[in-house]
Amino acid sequence: MIWWPTDVPTLSYGLITLRPLAEKDILDIYNSCQDPLIPKFTRVPIDYTMAHAEFFIREKTPQSFIEKSELAFAIDYGNGADKKFAGVISFHSINLPDYVAELGYWISADARGKGVGSTAARVLTNFGFESMGFRRIEAQVDPDNHTSKRLLSSIGYTLEGIQRKKSCRSDGGQIDMAMYSVIHDEWPGV
């Protein structure tokens, strides 16, 4: 059985902290999502507004946690007073009876290239296996998102194949998605 926390925990490793999303993150989320790469490779809308960020923090995230359909975290990078918001990471598309979750994330432009995404993904994957009890964790990636494909491969995820016409973009275009996964028995840990 999957263990579901009573509250979103705080997870730390080195300079990376995954913590519950909070009201204070609304402006950082809004500002980060103005970067055209985030909507290009995620389901974040192209015309991301402050209302989107407020809805995400105040309604979607708490409701998804209650429904056990998503476990979302803010990513912070740095030490003490120097900690900065660096993005969002979550388990979503959770299938509790099959012990499967999907990993999703986006990293703020100023935090990219510093190991933030790979460390955050490694920490959350480890938590999913060792604390929650998932047996398989998946990640779907736009085949053109070479950075995310490298990130997943570098931490132990395996490319299983390309799912044809898997995702619909905001412009109505249907795109393929690369399916990555890692199995608990194969996970090297943090």
DSSP string computed for 100-156 = EEEEEEEE-GGGTTTTHHHHHHHHHHHHIIIII--SEEEEEE-TT-HHHHHHHHHTT
**Residue 172 pLDDT exceeds 90:** no
**Residue 171 pLDDT exceeds 80:** no
Tens digits of per-residue pLDDT, 103-153?
999 999 999 999 999 999 999 999 999 999 999 999 999 999 999 999 999
Sequence ranges of the domains in the chain: 11-137
The reported pLDDT for the residue numbered 1 is: 85
The reported pLDDT for the residue numbered 84 is: 96
Domain boundaries 11-137, corresponding CATH code: 3.40.630.30
Tens digits of per-residue pLDDT, 19-74?
999 999 999 999 999 999 999 999 899 999 999 999 999 999 999 999 999 999 99
